[in-house]
Amino acid sequence: MFYVSEIEDYIRVEPRLFGLPTIEAVEQQLKEIYADYYDKELGKVVSVVEVLEVGDGILIPGDAAAYYNSTFKLLVWKPELQELVYGMVFEITNFGAFINLGVMRGMIHISQTMEDYVNFSKSNTLIGKSTKRSLKKGDLCLARIVAISHKTEEPKIGLTMRQPGLGKLEWIKEDRLKEQREAVKVAKAEKSSGGKKKK
């Protein structure tokens, strides 16, 4: 889930940024600090939104940098269990698929790709045995986060598409059309049986 977090912290501004106005120097330093930053509590930093306030600088003997007590806003994405996520398949393996979620990446085990027995084909595609549905690189999907592991530097995100309304976007569209056709059939059947009872 995306959040805007307001943070107050001392920011170490390197000497090479001293020529800039202080607020710009702090903002530039923040962008470098949070360029590829992930924290279990905070989440994955997407961008520095705004520097709200910069206090007086402090110099520490032996360090050429200046430290500014600053208040700033960050746009972050923190993965949450049961969250729905859109993504694009960027790799297919014999054990599942890796999905680019934009901010991070997730992994979907082969058994969680669809409600079917799934085979890995030589063309790097996952294919359902009875449905013949296929999942390949570049497919857009809607999935649910079912596991988050923080044992590595960036979390490992486990996904599923084995729930109604999830899967490759084409599958979701096909399922909705099928449901609509079934609903129309049922309505017609009820209408015609209702008309016979009146006679």
Q: How confident is the model at residue 196 (pLDDT cuts 50, 70, 90)?
A: low
* Domain made up of 2-77: CATH architecture: 2-Layer Sandwich (3.30)
Q: What is the pLDDT of residue 192?
A: 81
- CA atoms within 13 Å, Cβ hemisphere of 166: 21
Q: How confident is the model at residue 195 (pLDDT cuts 50, 70, 90)?
A: low
**Where exactly are the structural domains of the chain?**
2-77, 84-176
Give tens-digit pLDDT for 62-82.
999 999 999 999 999 999 999
80, with CB counted inside 10 A (0-12, 13-18, 19+), is exposed
**pLDDT (average), residues 20-24:** 94
The CATH number fitting domain 84-176, selected from 3.40.30.10, 2.40.50.140, 3.20.20.10, 3.40.50.300 = 2.40.50.140
| Whether 182 contacts 174, CB under 8 Å | no
Asked if the model's pLDDT at residue 190 lies above 90, the reply is no
Give tens-digit pLDDT for 135-183.
999 999 999 999 999 888 888 999 999 998 999 999 999 988 988 898 8
Q: What is the pLDDT of residue 14?
A: 95
The model carries a pTM of: 0.79
Asked if the model's pLDDT at residue 198 lies above 60, the reply is no
| Whether 110 contacts 127, CB under 8 Å | no
